[in-house]
Amino acid sequence: MKKYHNHLKVILLFTISMITLIFLTLQYQKINAEYYNTREISIVKNKKITANNVEFKVVDIFSDRDSIIVTLNIKQTGPGFYGMKSSDNFYENMWIASPYVFSQHYNKAITDQDNRKFDMKKYADGKEMTAKVSFRNNKALENGKFYFLVSNNKSMIKYALPLKKGTVRN
């Protein structure tokens, strides 16, 4: 009788595991089915970009020993959708990278042109604002790119600005 119960437990555990695996696979496919391939579009400094629900222009990139600061004019023109969720936190979708290297945000608080904390409420209300986003500097990033990932209905567009001499101010 004990042997029968052990076999029953194993079969029951296997069945529950398989049902869970199937459920998780279907959920993964459902969530990711809405998004198609991500396109990368090269941009240049001081050129206004009109994207889905946001307009922005990279006006300056400053680099020192510890950080890279990207200054941009940005305006929300529709509901924010950053970080794969309904959110106005556009900086969650910004990063600097080069092959094999990724730079994290230096701090979570972004600032405005006067180095005060960025007012997300004004931004969400559709006011054009200047934002300074800081990233940790890594010497390997000198030939990298600044990226801004923007949702475009059922796809994502990755706007890329190369960080080369003439683009980055020291």
Averages of pLDDT over runs of 10 residues in the chain (170 residues) are 76 91 81 69 94 92 84 88 66 82 69 86 87 81 82 82 75
If asked whether residues 124 and 145 sit together in one domain, one would say yes
If asked whether residues 86 and 138 sit together in one domain, one would say yes
Confidence (pLDDT) at 18: 92
Has residue 170 been placed in a domain?
Answer: no
Confidence (pLDDT) at 107: 62
Confidence (pLDDT) at 151: 81
If asked whether residues 108 and 145 sit together in one domain, one would say yes
If asked whether residues 10 and 45 sit together in one domain, one would say no
CATH number at residue 142: 2.60.40.4170
Q: Largest Cα–Cα distance of the chain, in whole Å?
A: 80
Positive or negative CA dihedral for 115, 163, 138, 65? negative
If asked whether residues 21 and 58 sit together in one domain, one would say no
If asked whether residues 91 and 141 sit together in one domain, one would say yes
Domain count, the chain: 2
Confidence (pLDDT) at 87: 65
Confidence (pLDDT) at 96: 86
Which helix (H) or strand (E) segment holds residue 9: the answer is helix 2-32
Pairing of strands 155-162, 39-42: parallel
Confidence (pLDDT) at 57: 96
Confidence (pLDDT) at 55: 94
Has residue 167 been placed in a domain?
Answer: no
Has residue 71 been placed in a domain?
Answer: yes
Confidence (pLDDT) at 41: 93
- Tell me which residue range forms the domain holding 14: 1-33
If asked whether residues 50 and 1 sit together in one domain, one would say no
Q: In degrees rounded to 5, what are phi and psi of residue 105?
A: -60, 140
Closest C-alpha among 145, 116, 141 to residue 129: 116
